Amino acid sequence: MKNNFDEPLFREFNFPTRDISGNVIKAGSSEVIGKTKVSIDEGSHDGVTVILKKDANDSIKEIKFVCSCGQTKSIILDYSE
């Protein structure tokens, strides 16, 4: 039996309205825009962690490089025509 946590699938939210005050977000001010899989590669890359964000069909949406010094760089891929 496959472990349920091998490929975590998360709902991705957008908050189009700006009526958010403080740390509370009301359900009416959010919308689900899709599902995302997140995988982390913590191999030996000179202190750089690679985070892949995929959609539900395993197409890569974002590649994020996180340095051990705290800097982050992202590449966002858009497949729409």
* Any domain includes 54: yes
Residue 16: per-residue pLDDT: 67
- Residues 48 and 65: their CA atoms lie apart, in Å, by 6
* Any domain includes 3: no
Residue range of the domain that includes 32: 9-76
- Number of neighbours of residue 29 by Cβ within 10 angstroms: 13
* Any domain includes 81: no
Domain count, the chain: 1
Largest CA distance in the chain: 45
Convert the pLDDT of each residue in 2-25 to its tens digit: 444 456 677 777 776 666 566 777
* Any domain includes 49: yes
* Any domain includes 44: yes
Q: For the chain, what is the mean pLDDT? A: 76
* Any domain includes 4: no
Query: Does the global pTM surpass 0.85?
Result: no
* Any domain includes 1: no
Convert the pLDDT of each residue in 60-74 to its tens digit: 888 988 888 888 999
